[in-house]
Amino acid sequence: MKCRALGLAGLVACGLVTLPAIGQPLPDPPPDAPAEPSQPSEPAAPSEPHADDAASDQPPTGDPSEPPAPEPDASRDPAQSPPPEPADPSAPAGPAESASPAQPAAAPAPRPPPPPASPSGRREPTQPSAEPARQRQPQSFADALVASNERLPSLWRPPPNAVHVGLVDSALAVPLESLGLLALVTYTGFSDWKWGTASFRFNSEGWFGMDTGSGGMDKVGHAYGAYMASELLYWRLRASQDDRPVVSFYPAMFGMLLYLYIELFDGYSVDHGFAYEDVITDTLGVLLSTARNTIPAIRRGFDFRLEYFPSKGFDFHPVIDYEGQKFMGVFKLAAFPALERSPARFVELMVGYYTRGFDKDLDVDFKSAHLFFGVGFSLEQLFFKPLDQVYGWPFGFMGLAANYFQLPGTYMSAESVRTAPTGQ
């Protein structure tokens, strides 16, 4: 058995097999014997032991209880299998399992395609991103100036991250702001609007005629005041919801009730009286604020602004100083997706209205009403928004204020003027 374990070289050494002379053919095997693979005619010359040979001399480290490897199939084509390595006569005899031919390895599982190579030639592993990539923050004012505006999923519906807040929750979120507005209009009513100086009465004040008390400036002022009250509450509601968009009817309802309260007490003023025209313009103001805070396209594209410069006789009183006021609606070209990457986003188109000479205390011969159309630069896009992205919140607040107040001298306009003698 030990001679058989050494293979053909062992059989020759034991005298069990006689090799024919070189050049003579091997005898044919018996018919019932399996075909033996062709072996080299003579053993290889002794050589230095190979590392693989030394490893094969070691006893197997596997579990002895495991069954031995199956014998190779004699019917296989010898040409398809690699020829066995000749045995080293100088090596000590090892166990029988070490002389058996190695089994063919199983086909490896298909590997996934390699990750794309980086510009440096190294392949970087690809990992799924846990969150969408954020837009790169500009590092300088020039970078922020050329950055495009944020795209919204829809310009006509509330954004997906909008928070719907009920009436009660909204009131509880902004109690100080609501009480502060009520206290402010109450103080102004008794100090400037002469509340309590007459019995309650109705008074139809007209609209924008030259024979009215202010040429319609009080009507536009009512719309702007109700609009601003609603906008203030919307702003504070967004702050209470981590600056996310808010859908709520509380600001509009509170603004409408606040100015209805003003109009009721105007009925007790000797200078005013309850005017249904004021109620209509109050309603228009809160509706504009509601639409602006519900439809992103209106918020991005339209502002209702006040320009004020104190007139003669007033230090600084933008609420009742009609002679120093100008109201305007502003259309912002930056709201159009086709123009948000072009220099046109710095341009604003505006239409406005103001009057002069209607104050009875002024010594003038004519009074006038002015309808104007203007073109100006967007201070928000040109300065405040890029500076906010680079330096932070103070410029962001200035950009917010630029949506409600117009700086004098920042636009050019053409006017249509109506005049009338002051006695009319």
Domain stops at, among 255, 272, 294: 294
170: left (phi over 0), alpha (psi -120 to 50) or beta: alpha
- Whether residue 184 lies inside any domain: the answer is yes
Buried b (16+ CB within 10 A) or exposed e, 188-200: ebeeebebeeeee
Distance from C-alpha of 126 to C-alpha of 110, rounded to nearest angstrom: 18
Q: Tell me the C-alpha distance between 3 and 14, whole Å.
A: 6
Q: Which residue has the higher pLDDT, 363 or 49?
A: 363
Q: What percent of the chain has pLDDT over 90?
A: 34
Please tell me which of 63-67, 90-94, 400-404 the model is most confident about, judged by mean pLDDT. Answer: 400-404
Last residue of a domain, one of 278, 294, 310: 294
pLDDT of residue 22: 45
Tokens at residue 3, please?
Answer: 């001679």
The pLDDT, as a whole number, for residue 104 is 52
More confident residue, 68 or 52: 68
416 with 312, same domain: the answer is yes
Tell me which of 341 and 148 has the higher pLDDT.
341
Q: Which of 273, 294, 315 is the last residue of a domain?
A: 294
133 is a domain residue:
no
- Domain span at 397: 302-424
Mean pLDDT for 139-162 is 61
For residue 318, tell me if it sits in a domain: yes
Instruction: Determine phi and psi for 24, rounding to 5 degrees.
Output: -90, 145
User: Are 328 and 208 in a shared domain?
Assistant: no
- The predicted pLDDT at position 416 comes to 93
409: left (phi over 0), alpha (psi -120 to 50) or beta: left
Of 76-85, 176-185, 199-208, the one with minimum mean pLDDT is 76-85
Strands 325-332 and 347-356: antiparallel
Tell me, yes or no, whether 330 and 313 share the same domain: yes
pLDDT at 87 over 80: no
Banded model confidence at residue 183, pLDDT cuts 50, 70, 90: very high
Q: Report the length, in residues, of the chain.
A: 424
Count of domains forming the chain: 2
